[in-house]
Amino acid sequence: MLTLLEILKYTIPALIVLISSYLIVQKFLVSQIKRKQLALLQDNQQITVRLRLQAYERLVLFIERINPRQLVPRIYMSGMSVADLQQALVFNIKAEFEHNLSQQIYVSSNVWNTVRGVMEQEINMIGTLAQQLKPDAPAKDLHMRIIDAVLSEPGVMPTEVALQIINEEAKMVLSYGAQH
């Protein structure tokens, strides 16, 4: 019995020290893990903000590149027919759009639907104006009709509306990302 008391006299304090050490180490490790997770989350958020801003930049560039004022002079070549110019313009718009398809995962559905809508409006405008001319007429006729349509368009052009929507959302993302 005396031996049992002697053993308990040494083992009980040792168990108390062991349990308290375990709890202290566990709390320390849990706090370290939480701190590392928070740091990783902040790093990921900064990366995400950068990716989103790059997506907005690319979509702005896309909208600018399909703006008829930029697109037609870049594509038009003397000697083309109306059908040739129409085909080249539509092909270029679609190629630019396909090149930027992946950007939709970084932007809101509002921005993406606006971008897609502008693309469709530009293609429809080109098609409507081309149908008013003979397919084998000189492309200069279609070129002039597109420029006249752009210049005589009442109100704000679809490309300008899209740029405004993209810019507003990019500013929100930028200010939100700067807060975190």
| Predicted confidence (pLDDT) per residue in 87-98, tens digit | 999 999 999 999
Nearest-angstrom CA–CA distance, 142 and 49: 42
Query: What are the residues facing 81 on neighbouring strands?
Result: 138
Question: What's residue 152's pLDDT?
Answer: 86
Helix (H) or strand (E) holding 175: helix 158-179
Question: What's residue 155's pLDDT?
Answer: 77
Q: Where are the domains of the chain?
A: 2-179
In the CATH scheme, what architecture does the domain 2-179 have? Up-down Bundle (1.20)
Question: What's residue 146's pLDDT?
Answer: 94
Question: What's residue 180's pLDDT?
Answer: 42
| Reported confidence tier of residue 177, pLDDT bands at 50, 70, 90 | low
Q: Which whole number is the average pLDDT over 46-73?
A: 92
Note the pLDDT tens digit of each residue in 19-29. Answer: 999 999 999 88
Note whether 158 and 104 are within 8 A (CB).
Answer: no
Nearest-angstrom CA–CA distance, 65 and 133: 25
Task: Compute CA distances 148 → 16, 89, 97, 154, whole Å.
Answer: 89, 16, 25, 12
Q: Closest Cα partner for 61 from 76, 49, 71? A: 71
Q: pTM, whole model, 2 decimals?
A: 0.74
- Judged against a pLDDT cut of 90, whether residue 179 lies above it is answered with no
Question: What's residue 166's pLDDT?
Answer: 95
Note the pLDDT tens digit of each residue in 92-139. Answer: 999 999 999 999 999 999 999 999 999 999 999 999 999 999 999 999
Question: What's residue 8's pLDDT?
Answer: 83
Residue 134 region by backbone torsions, left for phi larger than 0, else alpha for psi between -120 and 50, else beta: beta
